[in-house]
Structure 1
Amino acid sequence: MRLITWNCQGAFRKKANVILLEQPDILVIPECEHPDKISFDTTTIKPNNILWFGDNKHKGLGIFSFNNYKLKLLDQHNADIKIISPISVTGGQLDFTLFAIWANNRNDPDGQYVEQIWKAIKHYDQLLSSGPTILTGDFNSNKIWDRPKRIGNHSAVVDKLTEKNIHSVYHKYQKQEQGKESHPTFYLQRKKEKPYHIDYCFASEDLYNKVESFEIGSYENWITHSDHTPLIISFNI
């Protein structure tokens, strides 16, 4: 299974063909416009399923499945935690729960970004412990921005997931330390001199052990399309 997450910085209808060249089975696209605005041309594979979440039709969270994979939003979904959507993924060798993430809730006084993920971890505690699980997308967070007295900062999220044997694939696979990443996923104002690592894929131990490859797209290949670069993970499932 080939899983890709990429914050497309809007206008996905103009960029879909570019990311589809990477042949995803599951595609998670933060800042994706509503599917009504997207058309897939005759030269590209069409998705089996499309799920979309958001309050603004120009920028939400899109999830697409291809080949034999199918998506279904789980009944446990809490729409007040934005935007973090628990999805059942079936059709491959191993069914799993996908938490598609664009951590972005500007109206929450408790915290707009990583605090949403903290709330999701608490709310979906039982679901996170019930089988193979992946959390992926734009977390809008990094350890460098931790506020020590803030409940639910980046480090707290990582620690809580670690307690459940759910690990950042990049950090474990590349032997990287949180907050000291060698490979950016975001370039502020699309400037190479302003790099940050804010996009992630976390996988439960049973899925991490099936990782075959992990790649972060390069600045040179992706900066003309977005201020983010994609995470591309292949699993042997």
Structure 2
Amino acid sequence: MKIITWNCNMAFRKKAEFILTEQPDILIVPECEHPDKLIFKNEITKPTDSLWFGNNLNKGLGIFSYSDYKIELLSIHNPKFEYVLPLSIKNNKTEFIIFAIWAQKPKKHDCYTEQIWDAVHFYNDLLKKENIILAGDFNSSSIWDKPNRIYNHTNLVNFLENMNIHSTYHIFYNQQQGKETASTLFMHRKIDRPYHIDFCFASKNLIEKIRNVEIGKYENWTKHSDHKPLTVLFEI
């Protein structure tokens, strides 16, 4: 199973053909327009299932299946955490719980991590299961930690690790949070402003099934978005 998360920087309908060359089974797309606006070229492969969530018709969170996996928003979804979506992703053989994420900036401060921090505590019991994945644009990094802020990025990572849920990129490449050698965002598309803020976390039973983790290269993706796709291949 191949999962890709890619913040498309809006207008997904014009960019789908490029990410689909990566052949995802499940594709998570922050900043995706409403399905009514997703008019693809005839030659573009159409998703077999999809779900969209948002308030702005031009800029929401899209999840697409290009396989036999079906997507369903779980009834436990708390609207307070709008863009942390607990999804059932299943076919006839297996089922996953995927939290599709597009972290939003709070009204009172600039720490995007707060929404995810509150959400993982709310969904604590669900996170204890196997086949758990959290993937998307976290807008968060340990380099922005404030020590006196309980919901900083490092504390979020530690909380998930205590739940036996780990970052696929950091496990696969044996790297530390905040010291990544590959970046997922180039602010304003400038090569001298790199950050690693898109993640795919997975429960321990899935970590053991990782076969590859890849981040798109700056020169290949910058004309399409300020973010680069993060691809994780599991042998399932």
Using the size of structure 1 for normalisation, the TM-score is 0.96
CA contact (8 A) 2:103 2:137 kept: yes
Partner of 1:132: 131
Q: Distance in 1 between matches of 2:122 and 2:109?
A: 15
Aligned residues: CA RMSD: 1.3
CA contact (8 A) 2:16 2:44 kept: no
CA contact (8 A) 2:14 2:40 kept: no
Q: Which runs of structure 2 are paired with 1:54-203 in the superposition (5 Å)?
A: 54-91=54-91, 93-107=93-107, 109=108, 113-203=112-202
- Please state how far the C-alpha of 1:91 moved relative to its aligned partner: 1.1
C-alpha offsets along residues 28-67 of structure 1, whole Å, 9 cap, x if unaligned? 0011111110023332221121111111111111000112
Q: Which runs of structure 2 are paired with 1:11-30 in the superposition (5 Å)?
A: 11-30=11-30
The percentage of counterpart residues that share the same residue type is: 52
C-alpha offsets along residues 56-108 of structure 1, whole Å, 9 cap, x if unaligned? 1111110001121110000110111131000000016431100000001444x
CA contact (8 A) 2:26 2:67 kept: no
Q: Which runs of 5+ in 1 are unaligned?
A: none
SS at match of 2:100: strand
Q: Which runs of 5+ in 2 are unaligned?
A: none
CA contact (8 A) 1:103 1:112 kept: no
Cα distance change on mapping 1:67 and 1:169 into 2, 3 Å: same
For 1:178, give the aligned amino acid: Q
For 1:215, give the aligned amino acid: E
Q: 157-166 or 53-62, which moves further after superposition? A: 53-62
Partner of 2:5: 5
Cα distance change on mapping 1:33 and 1:106 into 2, 3 Å: farther
For 1:103, give the aligned amino acid: A
For 1:152, give the aligned amino acid: Y
CA contact (8 A) 1:83 1:105 kept: no
SS at match of 2:67: coil
For 2:172, give the aligned amino acid: Y
CA contact (8 A) 1:29 1:61 kept: yes
Cα distance change on mapping 1:110 and 1:190 into 2, 3 Å: closer
SS at match of 2:118: helix
How many residue pairs get aligned? The number is 236
Using the size of structure 2 for normalisation, the TM-score is 0.97
SS at match of 1:147: coil
Q: Distance in 2 between matches of 1:155 and 1:17?
A: 35
C-alpha offsets along residues 207-227 of structure 1, whole Å, 9 cap, x if unaligned? 111111110000000000000
Cα distance change on mapping 1:92 and 1:200 into 2, 3 Å: farther
Q: Distance in 2 between matches of 1:92 and 1:228?
A: 33
CA contact (8 A) 1:82 1:105 kept: no
Q: Distance in 1 between matches of 2:76 and 2:159?
A: 20
Q: Distance in 1 between matches of 2:92 and 2:226?
A: 32
Partner of 2:224: 225
For 1:198, give the aligned amino acid: I
SS at match of 1:55: coil
Q: Distance in 2 between matches of 1:25 and 1:92?
A: 15
SS at match of 1:172: helix
